[in-house]
C-alpha cells in the first residue's frame, strides 16, 4: 500500500518552532507582544487599516456581526454553497441566514443572485471567497451601497488572493480570515477581522475582550472572549514571514493541476475571472455524470482505495433543513454540491504526486 496523499498539510517551514518556544519561555502565553506583531504584520501584508487577531475564523465572523450590531430580527445573506460558518454565526447572534445561489462557473455568489433577496430586514451580505476564488465584489459593493446593507467578506479561504489588485478581505468595509491548520497560513486555531472603519474596530475590540476597555472589570457591553494567544500568534508571525513562498508554491500546484485537468474529459474546474489574482486554497473538480456514472461518492471511495484523500464539496444549505429551513433549495448550489470533490491541495505537493492524483482520476472515468 502506497502512502496516502493527505488532503492538506500545514506549511511549518520557517521559524514557527523558534518563535513558539520564545513565547513560551517569555511566560506570556495568553496575551503578549506576538499578538500585536501579528496584527501589525498582517495589516502591512494585506494593506488593511485595522486588524484584530481572534481565536478562529468563526469567532471572526461572530465578532464582525457583533461589531456591526447585527442581531435578532435581522437577515444576513450568505451563499447556499460554502463553508457554513457565516450562516451559523448569523444564527448565533439571533439573525436569520438567507441563502443566495452561486454562479455555476465561479462557485461564488453574485449581485444578480443576491439582489432579489434584499428586504427591509437585510443587514449584511457575506460573500464567501470559496476555495480561494474571489467573488465579483464591485457589483456586490454597489448593491450594498444602494440598499444600505453592509458587505462583509469571508476571506477565510482566500488569504493572499487579490481582486483588482487589492487583497481579499480588505475590499469591503469588513473582512474575516481563518488561520486553521488547513488554511493558507495557520496558527493552529486562529483568525482575524479587518476593517477600514476605526469606530467599528473599536467596537469589535470591546466585544473581543469581555466588553472591557478603559477600566478592568468594568463591562461596557456583554462581550465575549475571542482573543488569540501569544503562543499561537508567535506561530502566525513565522508563517507571515514566509507567506510569499507559500503563495508561490500554491500557485505552482494550481498551475500543474490546471494543465492536467483541463485536458481531461468529464471534468471542470472553478472559473477564475480576469479581475482575480487567486491563491487557491483548494482544488475542486466537478464531475460530468456522463464520464463518471458511478457518481461523486463512489469516485471518492475509489480515490481513497488508491491512497488519495479527497473531500466532498460543502453540503448545501438544503441538506440541513433542520438548521436552515425548508426554503433553502437552490438549483446551482445543490447541483454543484452533489457533483464535485476537492483534490489534495497542499502547497507541499510535488509534480509527481499531482500526476499520480490526475492519473487516478482519469482511470476512474467510464
Ligand atoms: C475555515 C472557514 C471558516 C472558519 O474558520 P475556523 O478558523 O475554522 O473557525 C469560516 N469560513 C470559511 C469560508 C472557512 O473556510
Please identify, among 183, 206, 241, the residue that sits at the C-terminal boundary of a domain: 241
Determine whether the shortest distance from the Cβ of 85 to ligand 1 is under 6 A: yes
In this structure, what CATH number is given to the domain that contains residue 308? 3.90.1150.10
How many domains is the chain partitioned into structurally? Answer: 2
Determine whether the shortest distance from the Cβ of 127 to ligand 1 is under 6 A: no
Whole-number pLDDT of residue 10:
86
C-alpha cell recorded at residue 315: 453540503
C-alpha cell recorded at residue 85: 460558518
Question: Same domain, yes or no, for 259 and 221?
Answer: no
Question: Same domain, yes or no, for 123 and 64?
Answer: yes
Determine whether the shortest distance from the Cβ of 11 to ligand 1 is under 6 A: no
Q: Decide if 7 is inside a domain.
A: no
Please identify, among 241, 271, 294, the residue that sits at the C-terminal boundary of a domain: 241
Contacts of 105 (CB under 8 A, 6+ apart): 270, 271
Could you tell me the distance, in angstroms and rounded to a whole number, from the CA of residue 26 to the centre of ligand 1?
A: 30
Alpha carbon of 152 to those of 100, 133, 177, 257, 315: distances in Å? 15, 16, 11, 31, 22
Could you tell me the distance, in angstroms and rounded to a whole number, from the CA of residue 154 to the centre of ligand 1?
A: 8
What is the full per-residue pLDDT of the chain (366 aa) written as tens digits?
457 999 999 899 999 999 999 999 999 999 999 999 999 999 999 999 999 999 999 999 999 999 999 999 999 999 999 999 999 999 999 999 999 999 999 999 999 999 999 999 999 999 999 999 999 999 999 999 999 999 999 999 999 999 999 999 999 999 999 999 999 999 999 999 999 999 999 999 999 999 998 888 999 999 999 999 999 999 999 999 999 999 999 999 999 999 999 999 999 999 999 999 999 999 999 999 999 999 999 999 999 999 999 999 999 999 999 999 877 789 999 999 999 999 999 999 999 999 999 999 999 998
Question: Same domain, yes or no, for 210 and 266?
Answer: no
- Domain of residue 36, residue span: 16-241
Whole-number pLDDT of residue 328:
77
CB 305 within 8 A of CB 270: no
Whole-number pLDDT of residue 140:
98
Whole-number pLDDT of residue 2:
59
Q: Which helix (H) or strand (E) holds 125?
A: strand 122-125
Question: Same domain, yes or no, for 157 and 99?
Answer: yes
Determine whether the shortest distance from the Cβ of 89 to ligand 1 is under 6 A: no
What are the DSSP calls for 22-57, one per residue? HHHHHT--SS-HHHHHHHHHHHHHHT-SEEEEES-H
Question: Same domain, yes or no, for 213 and 307?
Answer: no
Say whether pTM exceeds 0.85.
yes
Q: To test the ligand 1 pocket, which listed residue (54, 61, 82, 83) has its Cβ within 8 A of the most ligand atoms? A: 83
Question: Same domain, yes or no, for 37 and 185?
Answer: yes
Please identify, among 185, 220, 241, the residue that sits at the C-terminal boundary of a domain: 241
Give the ligand 1 atom nearest the CA of 56.
Answer: 7
Amino acid at each position: 500500500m502506497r502512502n496516502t496523499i493527505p488532503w492538506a498539510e500545514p506549511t511549518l517551514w520557517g521559524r514557527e518552532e523558534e518563535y513558539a518556544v520564545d513565547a513560551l519561555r517569555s511566560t506570556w502565553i495568553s496575551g503578549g507582544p506576538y499578538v500585536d506583531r501579528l496584527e501589525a504584520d498582517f495589516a502591512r501584508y494585506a494593506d488593511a487599516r485595522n486588524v484584530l487577531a481572534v481565536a478562529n475564523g468563526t469567532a471572526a465572523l461572530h465578532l464582525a456581526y457583533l461589531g456591526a450590531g447585527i442581531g435578532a430580527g435581522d437577515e444576513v445573506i450568505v451563499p447556499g454553497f460554502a463553508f457554513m460558518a457565516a450562516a451559523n454565526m448569523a444564527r448565533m447572534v439571533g439573525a436569520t441566514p438567507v441563502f443566495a445561489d452561486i454562479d455555476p462557473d465561479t462557485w461564488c455568489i453574485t449581485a444578480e443572485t443576491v439582489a432579489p433577496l434584499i428586504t427591509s430586514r437585510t443587514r449584511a451580505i457575506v460573500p464567501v471567497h470559496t476555495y480561494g476564488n474571489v467573488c465579483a465584489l464591485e457589483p456586490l459593493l454597489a448593491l450594498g451601497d444602494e440598499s444600505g446593507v453592509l458587505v462583509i467578506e469571508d476571506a477565510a479561504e482566500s488569504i493572499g488572493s487579490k481582486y483588482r489588485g487589492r487583497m481579499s478581505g480588505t475590499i469591503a468595509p469588513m473582512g474575516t480570515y481563518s488561520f486553521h491548520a488547513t488554511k493558507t497560513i495557520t496558527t493552529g486555531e486562529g483568525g482575524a477581522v479587518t476593517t477600514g472603519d476605526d469606530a467599528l474596530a473599536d467596537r469589535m475590540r470591546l466585544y473581543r475582550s469581555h466588553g472591557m476597555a478603559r477600566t478592568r472589570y468594568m463591562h461596557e457591553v456583554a462581550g465575549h472572549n475571542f482573543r488569540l494567544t501569544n503562543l499561537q500568534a508567535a506561530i502566525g508571525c513565522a508563517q507571515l514571514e514566509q507567506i510569499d513562498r507559500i503563495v508561490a508554491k500554491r500557485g505552482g500546484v494550481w498551475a500543474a493541476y490546471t494543465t492536467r485537468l483541463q485536458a481531461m474529459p468529464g471534468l471542470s474546474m472553478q472559473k477564475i475571472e480576469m479581475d482575480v489574482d487567486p491563491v487557491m486554497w483548494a482544488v475542486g473538480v466537478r464531475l460530468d455524470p456522463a464520464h463518471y456514472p458511478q457518481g461523486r461518492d463512489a469516485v471518492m471511495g475509489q480515490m481513497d482505495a488508491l491512497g488519495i484523500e479527497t473531500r466532498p464539496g460543502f453540503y448545501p444549505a438544503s441538506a440541513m433543513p433542520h438548521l436552515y429551513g425548508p426554503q433553502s433549495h437552490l438549483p446551482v448550489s445543490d447541483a454543484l454540491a452533489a457533483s464535485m470533490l476537492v483534490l489534495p491541495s497542499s502547497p507541499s505537493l510535488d509534480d509527481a504526486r499531482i500526476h499520480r492524483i490526475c492519473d487516478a482520476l482519469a482511470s476512474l472515468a467510464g
